[in-house]
Structure 1
Amino acid sequence: MLRRIILLAAFSIYFLSARAQTTAPLRHCQQPEHWTPVKPPLPAGAEAELLEGDPKSDGIFTMRLRLPPNYSLAPHTHPTDERVTVLSGHVFVGVGDSLDASSAREFTAGCFYVNPAGLHHYVYSGKDGAVIQLTCQGPWGIEFISRKE
């Protein structure tokens, strides 16, 4: 009988602690509410919201970009890997020093891709625009190859 009581107590403690862990508040759970216009060197027209971290500092950060229809980023590079998830719409991504729509790959909502640090690439949105989420290691930046696009 004592053995059953001890076993029951042990299971109760286990299940109560497991329940407490699953109901703990999330560290971050937010929807973008404060979209702000992007700043140079990004071309005007897009909007951004920083969800966590600081792109200018060491460490992980996550931000979302809302790209209007037919928005383009000329060929550029980043100092760190850029992990991108397409949340809505679709974007086209190509590799090289000039924007070539015939060789760009289309990424639709739900797709994920990585631009390795230093990769010369370009991005443009489709006719309906797009929302993308970037998760990167800071400090982050963008350096355009050419502004002639």
Structure 2
Amino acid sequence: MKTIMLLMLGMSLGSIPAVSAADMPYHGNGHIMGTADQLEWGPVGSMGEGAEIAVIEGDMTEEAPFTIRLRLEDGYEIRPHVHPAYERVTVLEGTLHFAHGESYDTAATQPLPVGGFAIMSPGDPMFGYAEGETVIQLHGEGPWGIEYLDAADDPRQ
């Protein structure tokens, strides 16, 4: 039994197959495994400077599951906004200060350190900010979008 367990442990700690850019984002075609350093980061048009996105799975414009990571610079503010579907967030690095509400108020936020999570219902207003460089993983069902409560907060304007 110990030999089998060691063999299994050795297999899980061995080299992880490389994920090529062609394999990501994942669209349900077999298995995919990777490491954080293999993610390709780019700008987030709906969030503006100081935020980057890496799409792990799916197409956020389609009615299908998606998984993304957002990397936020220290002090990055997420202004009050809503989404059309459930938002499920897990903090992977840094601290996300997050709250429910229509007005940006740092005192109303709850710190979510590494391992912290939040689930927000469709149409529920939310806001927050990053303490230290913060990476969050967000997953849900598309089609996805963001609507800022104050149009002046929307970098697409």
Q: TM-score, normalised by structure 2?
A: 0.74
Matched, 1:133 2:137: yes
Matched, 1:37 2:34: no
The letter of the residue matching 2:115 is: G
- Aligned pairs for 1:1-149 (under 5 A) are 27-30=31-34, 31=36, 32-39=38-45, 41-126=46-131, 128-147=132-151
Once the two structures are overlaid, the 10-residue window that deviates more, 94-103 or 61-70, is 94-103
User: Deviation above 6 Å: which 4+ runs of structure 1?
Assistant: none
Contact 1:90 1:125 in 2 (8 A): yes
Q: Equivalents in 1 of 2:112, 2:151: separation in Å?
A: 24
Instruction: For residue 102 of structure 1, give the secondary structure of its aligned residue in structure 2.
Output: helix
CA RMSD, Structure 1 to Structure 2 (Å): 2.1
User: Which residue of structure 1 aligns with residue 21 of structure 2?
Assistant: none
1:34 CA displacement? 1.1
More strand by share: 1
The structure with the largest alpha-carbon Rg is: 1
Once the two structures are overlaid, the 10-residue window that deviates more, 55-64 or 25-34, is 25-34
Q: TM-score, normalised by structure 1?
A: 0.78
The letter of the residue matching 1:107 is: L
1:43 CA displacement? 2.1
Structure 1: any 5+ residue segments left out of the alignment? Answer: 1-18
Instruction: For residue 107 of structure 2, give the secondary structure of its aligned residue in structure 1.
Output: helix
Q: Equivalents in 2 of 1:73, 1:118: separation in Å?
A: 16
Aligned identity (percent) is 36
1:113 CA displacement? 1.2
